[in-house]
Amino acid sequence: MRLIAANWKMHKTVSETEDYIRRFLELLGDVPDREVLLCPPFTALHRAGELLRETPVRLGAQNCHYEKSGAFTGEVSPVMLREVGCSYVIVGHSERRHIFGENDELINRKLVACLEEGLRPILCVGEKLEEREAGMTFKVVETQLRLALSGIEEHTDRIDVAYEPVWAIGTGVPATPEDAVSVHRFIGEILRELNPSASGKTRVLYGGSVKPANAGEFMRHPEVNGLLVGGASLDPESFSEIVRSF
């Protein structure tokens, strides 16, 4: 089933989250053939979990730590996320990599921790503008994938991947569907090589300036198994439109 995920980033208080979810559920209606996921900030997860409990909409976090508990000031563990109702965690988002210095080794440890806790990670990969201009897109994506999945290749059926070119995130300039599809195909080949038996179970999402007006252009390609939406997911009208746009 295709996955349409909202990454709210550092937006929305608990009361704003309540308002959003009430409105979103009204607008969403019945969408039986796609999975819908909301990823609010940590502080809103517990309340969001209560509001979404009896609904088909899934809850996810935007980050996690790799230990279950311990002296890690400011961090939140997969066990804690599971308890408040999360079933997904975004791991290795480009803002985590480039603003907070997360490297592939750390991202790998987070993936391992999520899998141990039964959370489904969405591993984000994607090249920066200068890497794209240097013709390194495929190399960068391949390295990120191989390092992140190192040692957990046999579990790739329990992981989704989001291809998010860094230059397309929050810029209003998405990749062309054709460019995205060529990277999605390439990611699919690597995943098949790493774990032939999990083929097709890892969804590859596109993210980067997805809007109601362009979501359908990505989703009409069979290689695009879903979307990870930032800015346009902050408004329940626009996110429900994206979910229903194909």
Which residue ranges make up the site for ligand PGA (CB under 6 A)? 7, 164, 169-170, 207-210, 228-232
- Specify whether 117 is catalytic: no
The active-site residue, picked from 35, 65, 93, 117, is 93
In the complex, minimum distance from the CB of residue 141 to ligand PGA, in angstroms, rounded to a whole number: 16
C-beta closer to ligand PGA: residue 78 or 230: 230
In the complex, minimum distance from the CB of residue 13 to ligand PGA, in angstroms, rounded to a whole number: 19
Closest residue to ligand PGA using C-beta atoms:
230
The DSSP annotation for the chain comes to -EEEEEE--S---HHHHHHHHHHHHHHH---TTEEEEEE--HHHHHHHHHHHTTSS-EEEES---SSSSSS-TT---HHHHHHTT--EEEES-HHHHHTS---HHHHHHHHHHHHHTT-EEEEEE---HHHHHTT-HHHHHHHHHHHHTTT-GGGGGG-EEEE--GGGTTSS-PPPHHHHHHHHHHHHHHHHHH-GGGTTTS-EEEESS--HHHHHHHHTSTT--EEEESGGGSSHHHHHHHHT--
C-beta closer to ligand PGA: residue 119 or 169: 169
In the complex, minimum distance from the CB of residue 6 to ligand PGA, in angstroms, rounded to a whole number: 9
In the complex, minimum distance from the CB of residue 17 to ligand PGA, in angstroms, rounded to a whole number: 18
**Residues contributing to the annotated binding site for substrate:** 7-9, 170, 209, 230-231
C-beta closer to ligand PGA: residue 39 or 48: 39
**Residues contributing to the annotated binding site:** 7-9, 170, 209, 230-231
- Specify whether 93 is catalytic: yes
The active-site residue, picked from 95, 117, 164, 223, is 164
Supply the residues annotated as catalytic.
93, 164
